Amino acid sequence: MDTLILYVYSSLPFIVVALLCVLAVAAAGVGMVRPRYLAYGYLLVFFLKNSTNYGSLATMGTPGIYTRGSGVLLFPLLFWMMFAFWACARVSSTFQRQPAPPCNLRPWFLGWFVLLLAHVAAGLFMDVKLADIVAVSGFSNIVWMAPLVSLLVLSFRTREDAVELSRFIMLAGLGRAMFGLVRWAVFKGDPNNVYANMNAIKIKLTFFDINDSLLCTIAFAIAAVNLFQIVKTQRSSFWRLVEWATLGATAICVVLSYRRSAWIGFVLAGLIVMMRFPMQRRIQLMVLGTPVVGAGLLVAAFRRLGQTKGAGHGLSSLFFDMQSKRFGSESERVMELKFALADFFSHPLTGIGTWGRYAGYEQISWQAGQDGGLFLHSGVLHIALKAGLPGLILLGGTIWAFCAFTRRALRTVPPELLGLATAGAAGLAFMLPDLLVGTPFPQVRTTQMLAICLALPYVAMAVSRERSAVQAELERKRGHVNLVPAHASV
């Protein structure tokens, strides 16, 4: 009996490897036929899995699925899975003889990849470890946004697929918002509560992670456009009920996150959504919605900032920790930005490298530990510091290309796809405050959520073009048939 047990335990690793191989083959088969199923599974991870333990009182934190573990694969396993999903979608598209839809982001992402290779070459020449060069603390996460954008564009090729994707996002946002609200109302809210646990501010949060508020925002955008656009699309009563529930739950969830960047971003996203409607509809929505949302934000801001030491009064209290002081020492947020800016001015063309740490980071309390000096609270300055002017040019070019394409897409996509395209634009608008004063680029979940937002207008536009091409081909064939003489078949 003991010998049998020994054999079983000895064979367990081989059994696990065999099962993983079978699962991989099965996933590849599914991906060849229905690549969007793999895309849904990948999206669910980022929609539902928290990425930070910051602010929690727990003494030990698990590495989680967003880390690269021991670093043998250099990047998180999730990235390699997504790359395999993209390969399946690309092969499936080739078999079906469907060319890749146009995307003006490709040359900019290629530029990011070339820039990363340049930093790899320079770092290896300077005897820097490859794992440190391509670590998430640099800008490698931006390079990994490209295959996710391509995966989504390749996986959703028909009108039905795109409508299904918009409903999937809406249901995910509603489910996440309801989870956060129930946890807030019945329990103690998000355990990662930096305000209560570290700043003695007596408030409960729905979600501290900005990505949960981002998911709520893009779901809110889809629901709002579907409900209030002038051209009504055919939907069942069930989906109308889901849209109304999403509209209310997601907005409340963002307000109760008590994050200033989420509040400002939600207002910016709301402006993007409002621009999709005619002037009369905008006025109606502003009269009905602004007092409700405004009152909620004011009450939340009073509860949060009223208990914050040094916040002051008025609108300036929103930026109390970003203001220079006339007397006494600078705040740590201001010191952090000044240190990083000084290093950028010292290395404007090349930056300090993806692996570099800015001088003086030891004076910042949250820069203690092995990650000290590798990140700072400004996404734009982070790119400038690590990659210099080439990185800033690529960042500006990527955003410009997206905005130029999205502006055209929002004017041409059909009503049933307008919510999906608007959600992408609203998501980017929501993240603008975090890009300016947050830490988006070193975070795997944040950059992948940004990639999802970037992909949505391209998915909507690709479906719209494919539908137009099919209709044009049908009309051409119909016209050809009508031109054939009646006696031609005799």
The pLDDT confidence band at residue 302, using thresholds 50, 70 and 90, is low
Q: For residues 84 and 175, what is the distance between their CA atoms, to the nearest angstrom?
A: 28
| Tokens coding 473 | 């081909």
Burial 259-283 (b: 16+ CB within 10 A, else e): bbbbbbbbbbbbebbbebbeeeebe
- pLDDT of res. 73: 82
| Tokens coding 482 | 């009508």
Judge whether residue 306 has pLDDT over 70: no
Other CB atoms within 10 A of residue 225 CB: 24
* Residue 122 CA: distances (Å) to CA of 115, 376, 402, 410, 461: 11, 23, 30, 42, 40
| Tokens coding 352 | 């300090």
CA-wise closest residue to 445 among 36, 38, 47: 47
Q: For residues 247 and 240, what is the distance between their CA atoms, to the nearest angstrom?
A: 11
Other CB atoms within 10 A of residue 375 CB: 25
Q: pTM for the full model?
A: 0.88
The pLDDT confidence band at residue 15, using thresholds 50, 70 and 90, is low
- pLDDT of res. 21: 65
CA-wise closest residue to 85 among 153, 19, 140, 136: 153
CA-wise closest residue to 246 among 208, 281, 273, 210: 273
Show Cβ contacts of residue 62 under 8 Å, excluding neighbours closer than 6 positions: none
Judge whether residue 150 has pLDDT over 80: yes
Tens-digit pLDDT profile for residues 21-79: 676 667 666 666 678 899 999 999 999 998 877 766 664 555 578 887 766 788 988 99
> In this structure, is the dihedral angle defined by the CA atoms of residues 93, 94, 99 and 104, taken in order, positive or negative?
positive
- Which residue has better confidence, 15 or 263? 263
